[in-house]
Structure 1
Amino acid sequence: MDLAVVRDDMVDSLEHESKGCVHSPNVSQAMRTVPREVFVDDERGAYADRPFERFGTRVLSPSTAARMVEALDPTEGDDVLVVGVGVGYTAAVVAELVGEANVHAIDIARRLVLDARSNLSKAGYGGVLVDRRDGADGLPEYAPFDRILLEAAAIEPPRALVRQLADDGRMVMPLGAGEQSLVTVEPSGDVDDRLGGVAFQPMLLEGEQADTPERNRTRREDRERARRSAESRTGWEQEWIDWDSY
């Protein structure tokens, strides 16, 4: 099987009006160049337009990756931050557009960071910096960024990421909880464009990633337990009652 031919067929289908995910010649060429099979470890299914599961994360389908990169609209020389790098495929496509030394990527899961580094190196994009960080914190020491790509859903643009945008920068992210939209975000934090529905996993907090030893002990769950405990106390147990005044 000639994978280059299959890759071309994949991009041709994404350019076809029935999908219309790829519009620009630059994105088309980048996706024809990046060897997707390196990132999904499945030559037979690598170029099918469907997502994969790997190490507890979802590998974006080619059409979803294309929509995000088209919305990001990076140009050569742009400094780009990819948040939630996963297996590294989208970061590789961006690196093909702006240069690998201009792409920085982070993920909260250590196993995915190691996997992304290995995949990017094998695919020829070893110059992409991949670090383990909490996505909501971004990568402030390398800011500002001309473009930020968030590959996880949030109910509002993360403030730290907005602060790390250049004055004329742009962030692309899935916005929402139950119903999500792919949006572009301005440096002011305002949503600029809504580009249709998507379905992404939510951004994880420290302790929620799949490789955490105690997966069920998350910050959200701890806060919820504390709230329920406070609400279930009888009157004499409530700390906010000043019994000395009675």
Structure 2
Amino acid sequence: MDPAVLREDMVDSLQHASKRAIHTESIGLAMREVPRHEFVEEGEAYADRAFERYGTRILAPSTAARLLEAVAPEPDDRVLVVGAGVGYTAAVLAELVGPENVHAVDIDRRLVYDARENLDRAGYGAVLVDCLDGAGGLPAYAPYDRILVEAAAIDPPARLVSQLAPEGRLVLPVGGGGGQELCRVDASGAVVEQRGTVVFRPLLVDGEQGTTPERNRTVREDREHAARHFERRRGWEQEWIDWDARY
């Protein structure tokens, strides 16, 4: 079937009362313009489900729409996307604010290459995509009117907050294994709005990749990592042996 027809059907379903993922006309129009099949395999492109790529979860269209509604970009806003993925969210933002105003970072170099190629093929080659630790943002191009984080953190990363313009907003999932809320954060670092529960993977740091098990952005996972590390130890590393008491 014609991808344009499938794309229209996808957006119509996201605007339907049963989902109501899209409320804003400009976001609906932007998602109708972006050829998602340039970012996702054609058989999966217009289905509303997530999938894996290099160990990273690529968002379902309804989830992407929910994030876009929360970040609410305005024309000519400068926007940073943390977690470039395959580049689709950045492309929709490029439709809304202009490709030259969108920057994206990802910690996985393979995804960075993917995103660059996909964006270029889809006509959004002016979007800048760099390989960086997302919690550090992209200070060289700050301040940003909008920052969108497609991964969870226990607290809003201070370095990202510092890169917001005075009236800017940071949107990200906040929380750990016990539950996450999609939050809007202002330039002071305060959570000013909660937009419902979500389930996202945690932010990674330098040296980590999506295909490795160790991630460090939730307290629960830090505890689990410490426990696994302790259990791997043997002999004197694990416990003190009182040789005098034994013999």
- TM-score bracket for this pair, using the shorter chain length: 0.7 to 0.9
Name the counterpart of 1:224. Answer: 226
* 1:47 alignment partner, SS class: coil
1:218 shift after superposition? 7.3
The worse-fitting range, judged by mean Cα deviation, of 123-132 and 194-203 is 194-203
Give me the whole-angstrom Cα distance separating, in 1, the residues matched to 2:142 and 2:12.
36
1:207 shift after superposition? 2.1
Deviation readout 1:159-192 (Å, 9 max, x if unpaired): 1000000000001111111211111111111111
1:111 shift after superposition? 0.4
Name the counterpart of 2:176. Answer: 177
Name the counterpart of 1:83. Answer: 82
Give me the whole-angstrom Cα distance separating, in 2, the residues matched to 1:189 and 1:217.
27
Q: Is the 8 A contact 2:204 2:215 kept in 1?
A: no
Give me the whole-angstrom Cα distance separating, in 1, the residues matched to 2:77 and 2:140.
16
* 1:96 alignment partner, SS class: helix
Name the counterpart of 1:198. Answer: 198
User: Cα distance 1:17–1:218, how it changes in 2: closer, same or farther (>3 A)?
Assistant: closer
Equivalent residues in 2 for 1:18-97 (5 A)?
18-41=18-41, 43-97=42-96
Gap runs ≥5 in structure 2: 217-221, 243-247
In the superposition, the TM-score normalised over structure 2's length comes to 0.87
User: Cα distance 1:144–1:47, how it changes in 2: closer, same or farther (>3 A)?
Assistant: same
Q: Is the 8 A contact 1:206 1:218 kept in 2?
A: no
Name the counterpart of 1:186. Answer: 186
Deviation readout 1:49-72 (Å, 9 max, x if unpaired): 100111211110000000000110
Name the counterpart of 1:244. Answer: none
Give me the whole-angstrom Cα distance separating, in 2, the residues matched to 1:46 and 1:183.
27
Deviation readout 1:119-175 (Å, 9 max, x if unpaired): 000111000000000011111111110000000011110010000000000011111
* 2:117 alignment partner, SS class: helix
Asked if 1:111 is matched to 2:110, the reply is yes
Q: When the two structures are aligned, how many residues end up with a matched partner?
A: 232
User: Cα distance 1:216–1:184, how it changes in 2: closer, same or farther (>3 A)?
Assistant: closer
User: Cα distance 1:97–1:227, how it changes in 2: closer, same or farther (>3 A)?
Assistant: same
Give me the whole-angstrom Cα distance separating, in 2, the residues matched to 1:218 and 1:194.
25
The worse-fitting range, judged by mean Cα deviation, of 65-74 and 226-235 is 226-235
What is the identity, as a one-letter code, of the residue corresponding to 1:18?
Answer: S
Deviation readout 1:68-122 (Å, 9 max, x if unpaired): 0011010111000000111100000001000000001000000000000000001
When the two chains are superposed, the root-mean-square deviation of aligned CA atoms in Å is: 2.4
Name the counterpart of 1:124. Answer: 123
Gap runs ≥5 in structure 1: 237-246
Name the counterpart of 1:164. Answer: 163
User: Cα distance 1:53–1:226, how it changes in 2: closer, same or farther (>3 A)?
Assistant: closer
Name the counterpart of 1:150. Answer: 149
The worse-fitting range, judged by mean Cα deviation, of 227-236 and 148-157 is 227-236
The percent of aligned pairs where both chains have the same amino acid is 58
The worse-fitting range, judged by mean Cα deviation, of 119-128 and 52-61 is 52-61
Give me the whole-angstrom Cα distance separating, in 2, the residues matched to 1:200 and 1:75.
25
Give me the whole-angstrom Cα distance separating, in 1, the residues matched to 2:229 and 2:70.
40
Give me the whole-angstrom Cα distance separating, in 2, the residues matched to 1:136 and 1:66.
22
1:226 shift after superposition? 11
User: Cα distance 1:217–1:172, how it changes in 2: closer, same or farther (>3 A)?
Assistant: closer
Name the counterpart of 1:4. Answer: 4
1:233 shift after superposition? 5.2
